[in-house]
Chains A and B, each alone.
Chain A
């Protein structure tokens, strides 16, 4: 309401600026000639001043005076139109009326077309201070951010805002928030899982080494939590180790309660992993066959370990015979690492690089891959 009153007031002021002079008394307007004489008079005075100060010579001053005198004379002979004679004609009155009407009509018309009169101003401070129940999630986050900027050591604040960031797809900020929460409030499985998820989201869904480390921390802290295990299994699948992924997923599935919301997700991923593994087996890749995998799934832990050992040895032998297989070398290096045989892994890496040609794209890819798994060349 106040807004409309202000608009009305502004319109009235603008109209008055036109109406008042129009309704003023009819004044005689001084002619241009009068003004000119005023100026010449002033110029004459200036010449006197300058001459008095000695800025211009006597002769020069006399000349200048004569020149101005001539100009004044010329004015008298030349200039007949003294003051304007005011005329009162219909055109003028009509125009004045039109202008008085045009200003409000035009401004209100134009404003109604382009303005947003129903939108109040939304200063940030006000938005952040209003009742949280009516705030949007952005506003809540901004409020929390403002709070955390002022109190960066408030672990609880970071803990609250972190999952929200994650849900808003602000992965980088989510990771920072989770890290801060862990730093200030200590370890907890959900925080580490959250950090892992944030890192994963930040790298476009790929479980990086950092993310995997976070999930492992979480799994260690709360073995009952299915999420870190699920993501770790995903990590294996992403690395191409479908057998291990499937095994882990099966193991995870067996621990999940029937009504667990994670069941369908895990089942679906498991199905995908097995299907993918079968596809690879079908395309005659000399990796572990699906029979092997199924067999492995049914074996006891000890037996499974033995079987994996055997499969790795088989892979190793095959690569000795047929070394031009970059993917094979990657699998071998990773397998050794999974089995915690770092020396063998390093050896496999070295052999792979030699076999592929030291300076080739493939060799570099292999080195990078190994480095990604934590096997740097410079490490002992």
Chain B
């Protein structure tokens, strides 16, 4: 079984090379049969990769310790769920997951791309094949998960305990679905450059892929953030850690691409820029993969610190980014420019969005890479952390977020800003009201905090205004407005929900950053402490034995001010004997959209224990907002506009044309 998987991997590599060469030559020479190989080869390549991945997963499930990768990352006593997730909880396995997703997307393009112009489809799949072969080669040459050991050890070394978590089980696959999803946009961009023309369907095809990748990436980032929040025991949701930035940059670029692709599709303007963004989104994904996989960064994600791997990925990175940009510089001129528009228009708003987002990408990129570059040039070691990003990223986001509600209300080509402002009066008034209420009635609320809360409210109300305006609320009777509301295209809901999600996330971030309270104290059993209007009583410590760990569980009761018990909070210090490693399991109680977060510290003399308690107002909105964004994106993805004319119809018409000719 294991060796079948190994062979399937090699076979998938060979197929990816064929997928690159044959369709590319076919598209160049106009040979239909060569181009026709792209689809079946892509699908078969995916099947082979799937067999390979399944074989590795089975090896994990059955604790086959004759596979080195299983020995290093699994343990026979681990719960089955974590045996399975252990497959991608390590460098080799996660790279296999990467190519699995890549070939999966290739197969999707092959299956659903029958209505694409043949040469475009062949070129896109060829580029997918090229990316695939580079990564297959990387896996086979430096990170083969199928290396065997003989004699097989009887026990494995266990998966890093902080990775044994449901959140982390789905975080990498989601993130990879996002990263790799951008590879399709990239391939479309390269295909357009190779052909020297952009088909009308181009943007229609790129947008759903961008949307899909963006949805997954949003989910992956949110999941990673929530995991860090409850698992690392620091109660932080975002650390501006280089690895987080590595996933955030493609997200920002993808968000920009999402918006510029709308302009391109509707007005066939911004073609060259959209192409460049498509290249950048995937390049940043590759950069993320490089930063995480090469070990140049110190992070929880850096499992692999083998210099050969770093150099290899760097070569892949340079080849694809450099190659793509060179091709871009050479061919971009041949593309015909599209429609024109006034600065105040939907297009103008989207350009503004792109300007801010791409500048934000650049600042994050500088903040992430500057320490690496500085160290390699001068040897000086610096760290660029939260203060830097607060000063640069923050000011960029504020005007962008302020402008968001205007965008959807502006007309294409030339718009009336004054009319849009009038429609937003209610949203503006609401936001100002919330701001004043926050400032006057919430303790500790600074002017900035109140402004932030107001900004979030502005976004939420702005999104609602958008839907209300589109339904004609106020200008037609409520009944008709309701009917029109129900009949709105899904993309309109999508836009509004995604913007609403941004508002919710903003509220959450501002709430936690400016209004949270922290209590660090030593507690003995029976003692209690008041936190944000609640009373938290420490009941005591209890030892507990899990399947592959032991832990001391601290039990706390959350009570309201009258002493009624609301819920129990269990926070624990866990110890995993296989890796001799302790972890903190935070205890969290959710009240509305806010949370009480309890982490245990060290025991002190005399039976007490150091306890860290946070009151985190609005914190769940951070992730809830992301979920709303994902729902919005999904609705947009389901819009019928993104489905392109049926191929069967056209073929019939072609045949009819031939018959008459």
**Do A and B touch directly, given a CB cutoff of 8 Å in the complex?**
yes
Question: Contacting B18 at CB < 8 Å: which of A36, A38, A102?
Answer: A102
Query: Cβ of B30 and Cβ of A22 under 8 Å apart?
Result: no
Across-interface contacts of B152 in A (CB, < 8 A):
122, 127
Output the least CB separation between B226 and chain A (Å). 33
Kindly state whether residue B297 has any CB partner on chain A within 8 Å. no
Question: Contacting B59 at CB < 8 Å: which of A21, A63, A103, A121?
Answer: A121
Kindly state whether residue B119 has any CB partner on chain A within 8 Å. yes
Residue of B nearest to A116 (CB): B148
Across-interface contacts of A138 in B (CB, < 8 A):
153-154
Kindly state whether residue A133 has any CB partner on chain B within 8 Å. no
Output the least CB separation between A28 and chain B (Å). 7
Output the least CB separation between A104 and chain B (Å). 8
Question: Contacting B204 at CB < 8 Å: which of A10, A30, A39, A111?
Answer: A39
Kindly state whether residue B31 has any CB partner on chain A within 8 Å. yes
Across-interface contacts of A7 in B (CB, < 8 A):
4, 7
**A7-B4, A63-B413 in contact; A103/B268 too (CB < 8 A)?**
no
Question: Contacting B412 at CB < 8 Å: which of A60, A111, A127?
Answer: A60
Query: Cβ of A32 and Cβ of B651 under 8 Å apart?
Result: no
B residues adjacent to A (C-beta < 8 A): 1-4, 6-8, 10-11, 13-15, 17-18, 21-22, 25-26, 29-37, 39-41, 43-44, 47-48, 51, 59, 62-66, 76-77, 115-120, 140, 144, 146, 148, 150-155, 197, 199-201, 204, 267-268, 339, 411-413, 470, 472, 484, 487-489, 492, 641, 644-645, 650-651, 654, 658
Question: Contacting A124 at CB < 8 Å: which of B26, B40, B76, B140?
Answer: B76
> A332 to B411, alpha carbons, bound, how many Å?
99
Residue of A nearest to B202 (CB): A39
Query: Cβ of B30 and Cβ of A85 under 8 Å apart?
Result: yes
Listed by A's residue number, 21 A-B pairs whose Cβ atoms lie within 8 Å are: A7-B7, A17-B43, A18-B18, A21-B33, A23-B33, A30-B118, A35-B200, A35-B650, A36-B200, A57-B411, A63-B413, A86-B33, A92-B29, A92-B31, A95-B25, A99-B21, A99-B22, A106-B14, A121-B62, A124-B63, A138-B153
Question: Contacting A32 at CB < 8 Å: which of B3, B36, B140, B199?
Answer: B199
Question: Contacting A96 at CB < 8 Å: which of B22, B59, B120?
Answer: B22
Q: Is the interface of B mostly helix, strand, loop or mixed?
A: helix
Output the least CB separation between B567 and chain A (Å). 34
Across-interface contacts of A86 in B (CB, < 8 A):
30-33
Query: Cβ of B3 and Cβ of A115 under 8 Å apart?
Result: yes
Across-interface contacts of B201 in A (CB, < 8 A):
35-36, 38-39
Contact with B along A130-166 (1 / 0, CB 8 A): 0000001011011000000100000000000000000
Pick out which of these stretches binds chain B: A40-48, A264-272, A354-362: A40-48
Query: Cβ of B644 and Cβ of A60 under 8 Å apart?
Result: no
Query: Cβ of B17 and Cβ of A102 under 8 Å apart?
Result: yes
Kindly state whether residue A167 has any CB partner on chain B within 8 Å. no
Output the least CB separation between A112 and chain B (Å). 10
Kindly state whether residue A13 has any CB partner on chain B within 8 Å. yes
> A6 to B7, alpha carbons, bound, how many Å?
10
How many Cβ-Cβ contacts under 8 Å join chain A to chain B? Answer: 228
Query: Cβ of A123 and Cβ of B64 under 8 Å apart?
Result: yes
Query: Cβ of B48 and Cβ of A10 under 8 Å apart?
Result: yes
Query: Cβ of B44 and Cβ of A13 under 8 Å apart?
Result: yes
The 6 tightest CB contacts between A and B, nearest first, are A123-B62, A84-B30, A17-B44, A38-B645, A124-B63, A138-B154
**A36-B201, A121-B2 in contact; A30/B17 too (CB < 8 A)?**
no
Known A18-B41, A32-B197, A42-B641; 6 more pairs at CB < 8 Å: A10-B51, A17-B37, A35-B117, A39-B200, A40-B200, A84-B32
Across-interface contacts of A117 in B (CB, < 8 A):
3
Interface set, chain A 93-127, CB cutoff 8 A to B:
95-96, 99, 102-103, 106-107, 110-111, 114-117, 119, 121-127
Residue of B nearest to A30 (CB): B654
Residue of A nearest to B8 (CB): A10
Kindly state whether residue A55 has any CB partner on chain B within 8 Å. yes
**A14-B44, A32-B197, A35-B117 in contact; A27/B32 too (CB < 8 A)?**
yes
Kindly state whether residue A67 has any CB partner on chain B within 8 Å. yes
**A27-B32, A114-B140 in contact; A124/B37 too (CB < 8 A)?**
no
Across-interface contacts of A56 in B (CB, < 8 A):
411-412
Output the least CB separation between B102 and chain A (Å). 17
Output the least CB separation between B545 and chain A (Å). 11
> A60 to B470, alpha carbons, bound, how many Å?
15
> A85 to B118, alpha carbons, bound, how many Å?
13
Output the least CB separation between A120 and chain B (Å). 8
Query: Cβ of B11 and Cβ of A53 under 8 Å apart?
Result: no
Query: Cβ of B484 and Cβ of A53 under 8 Å apart?
Result: yes
Kindly state whether residue A24 has any CB partner on chain B within 8 Å. yes
Across-interface contacts of B489 in A (CB, < 8 A):
49-50, 55
> A26 to B44, alpha carbons, bound, how many Å?
22
Residue of A nearest to B197 (CB): A32
